[in-house]
């Protein structure tokens, strides 16, 4: 199965692939829950493991990934791929981390205080990194200053929806060119201004878990999208369906 190379899938575990993105060289980068790694597939189909351990210990189950303009890779590592989560005997790390892998292959732990780090996205100028916390007991989006050395400053709560009772948790997210944040959460996709003001919520027929920018016009759906072409459609993945809404502010891809 995709995301897991073993013969016997662990019971009650989410073992498939999760967050994906395109790296600066055009490779497809995949967070694999079951294999507890981040892999890369190049244009020829060759699969390479980018990272699977921190200080000799296996990662929990990498969840989402994003690249900074300097080529470094930031990713989250909650325990969702382990059947018993934090209490699973196979869990080798005592925390759920946010990491940075630089272009030389050096892995740095940036934060180990979030209970369920999940989706992540940079602000337009890369001065800040937003990270979703998909914990039912603390449904928040955190905002971290990105320091000149690419590490993270002390995080602050960007938005808190813990009191919301609708289905869904903070999960995947994207940012538009004006710095507005689009984060899947309770009941739909929450839209926040760069200052954290709730601007509205997109509510598709199903509660979405992830979002991505793409083309808006259906007539252009089969044409290749160039890097300079404005991405004004927000695509939303849910349990059984894929949805799209056309917006007026272009997003930042990928």
Please write the tens of the pLDDT for every residue from 71-114.
999 999 999 999 999 999 999 999 999 999 999 999 999 999 99
Residue 1: the pLDDT is 46
What's the rounded Cα separation, in Å, for the pair 152 and 100? 10
Task: List, as one string, the DSSP characters of 158-179.
Answer: EEE-TT--SS--S--EEEBTT-
Q: CA quadruple 202, 216, 183, 191: dihedral positive or negative?
A: negative
What's the rounded Cα separation, in Å, for the pair 114 and 250? 30
What's the rounded Cα separation, in Å, for the pair 202 and 121? 19
Model pTM score: 0.93
Residue 11: the pLDDT is 62
Rg, Å, the chain Cα set: 17
Beta bridge partners of 122: 129
What single-letter DSSP state applies at residue 127?
S
Nearest to 62 by CA among 82, 41, 84, 90: 82
Point out the residues of the chain with pLDDT beneath 50. 1, 221
The single residue listed with the structure tokens 């994207």 is 174
Residue 100: the pLDDT is 98
Angle CA(81)–CA(86)–CA(89) in degrees, nearest 5?
A: 85
What's the rounded Cα separation, in Å, for the pair 34 and 36? 5
Biggest alpha carbon–alpha carbon distance for the chain: 51
Residue 192: the pLDDT is 98
Residue 216: the pLDDT is 74
Nearest to 51 by CA among 8, 12, 93: 93
């Amino acid at each position: 199965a995709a995301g897991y190379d073993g013969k016997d899938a662990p019971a009650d575990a989410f073992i498939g692939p999760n967050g994906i993105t395109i790296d600066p060289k055009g490779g497809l980068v995949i967070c694999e829950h079951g294999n507890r790694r981040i892999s890369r597939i190049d244009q020829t189909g060759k699969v390479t493991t980018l990272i699977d351990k921190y200080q000799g210990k296996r990662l929990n189950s990498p969840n989402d990934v994003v690249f900074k303009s300097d080529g470094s890779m930031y990713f989250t590592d909650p325990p969702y791929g382990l059947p018993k989560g934090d209490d699973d005997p196979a869990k080798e790390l005592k925390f759920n981390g946010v990491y940075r892998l630089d272009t030389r292959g050096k892995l740095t732990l940036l934060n180990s205080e979030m209970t369920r780090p999940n989706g992540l996205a940079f602000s337009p100028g890369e001065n800040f990194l937003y990270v979703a916390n998909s914990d039912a007991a603390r449904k928040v989006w955190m905002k971290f200053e990105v320091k000149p050395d690419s590490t993270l400053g002390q995080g602050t709560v960007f938005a808190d929806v813990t009191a919301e009772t609708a289905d869904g948790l903070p999960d995947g997210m994207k940012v538009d060119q004006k710095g507005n944040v689009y984060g899947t959460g309770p009941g739909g996709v929450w839209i926040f201004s760069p200052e954290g003001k709730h601007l509205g919520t997109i509510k598709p027929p199903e509660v979405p878990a992830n979002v991505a920018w793409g083309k808006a016009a259906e007539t252009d759906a089969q044409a290749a999208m160039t890097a300079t072409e404005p991405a004004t459609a927000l695509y939303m993945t849910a349990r059984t369906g894929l949805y799209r809404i056309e917006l007026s502010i272009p997003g930042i891809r990928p």
